[in-house]
Amino acid sequence: MKLNVHENGTGDKVALLIHGGMSDHRTWHAVEDHLVGLGYRVVAPDLRGHGRSPRGEYRPELLAEDLVENLPAGADVAIGHSLGGLSLALAVSRLAPGRAVYSDPGFLLGNVPAGATAGMRHMVASATAESVRAMNPRWSRQDVAAELAGFALFDPAFLSAVEQFEQGYLPETAVVPSLVQLADPSLCVDARGAARLEERGFEVCVVPRTGHCVHRDDPQAFLKSLDGWI
């Protein structure tokens, strides 16, 4: 599937930024600006069913195929958030970035609280600037605007499909040097999952006092945790 792919920057280094569910590439605006300032060319897709990309069948394996089809292989770093992190993990052997960062990734969907998907569906349908700001008081005005824009273009059928996804996608090995960055607490990856990831060659860190959207709850702490990775 041909995705809508946003690009910014003219640097020699390449960074892939892969958003999570219900968002689009605009969720990365602060991280994007920082990377461009460091000399990266940023490449950020809208996943199928999100942003200005087409709709279709929704399975993690298809999200991964889309990444391979639309993104350049051999990037210096690839960062995926939530379901974007899951999609990146399924595509990483073919994309072959120099380093991979999985930000609170959807590796163990069985840990998501019961009823969460219904809550997400209501959140998208009823969102206003006030409701987004109330739920996320640490976000910037740009973050709130990006959230509303992402909701407006999101296909709600994606959430119905997520309910049918497998419960566990924990990677068997770190194909490239890989960091798993967890929220405090993580939405999907519990302590046992984190330990298993470390056993399989992943570096794991927790960003204190952040929720699932680490990069929006505390952009500076998000970036600090990436020292040596970007």
What is the per-residue pLDDT across 35-78, written as a single tens digit (0 to 9) for each?
999 999 999 999 999 999 999 999 999 999 999 999 999 999 99
Task: Assess if residue 151 is contained within a domain.
Answer: yes
Task: Assess if residue 95 is contained within a domain.
Answer: yes
State the pLDDT at residue 31.
Answer: 98
What whole-number distance in Å separates Cα of residue 79 and Cα of residue 130? Answer: 29
Task: Assess if residue 147 is contained within a domain.
Answer: yes
Task: Assess if residue 70 is contained within a domain.
Answer: yes
Q: CATH code at 174?
A: 3.40.50.1820
The pTM of the whole model exceeds 0.75: yes
What is the per-residue pLDDT across 193-224, written as a single tens digit (0 to 9) for each?
999 999 999 999 999 999 999 999 999 999 99
Say how many domains are in the chain. Answer: 1
State the pLDDT at residue 113.
Answer: 86
What is the per-residue pLDDT across 108-150, written as a single tens digit (0 to 9) for each?
999 998 788 889 999 999 999 999 999 999 999 999 999 999 9
State the pLDDT at residue 54.
Answer: 98
> The tokens of 211 are what?
């929720």
Confidence of residue 179 (pLDDT cuts 50, 70, 90): very high
Task: Assess if residue 22 is contained within a domain.
Answer: yes
Confidence of residue 90 (pLDDT cuts 50, 70, 90): very high
| Element spanning 20, H or E | none
Task: Assess if residue 228 is contained within a domain.
Answer: no
DSSP state of 113: P
Instruction: Give the domain range for residue 51.
Output: 5-223
DSSP string, 41-92: EEEEEPPTTSTTSPP----HHHHHHHHHHHS-TT-SEEEEETHHHHHHHHHH
Confidence of residue 188 (pLDDT cuts 50, 70, 90): very high
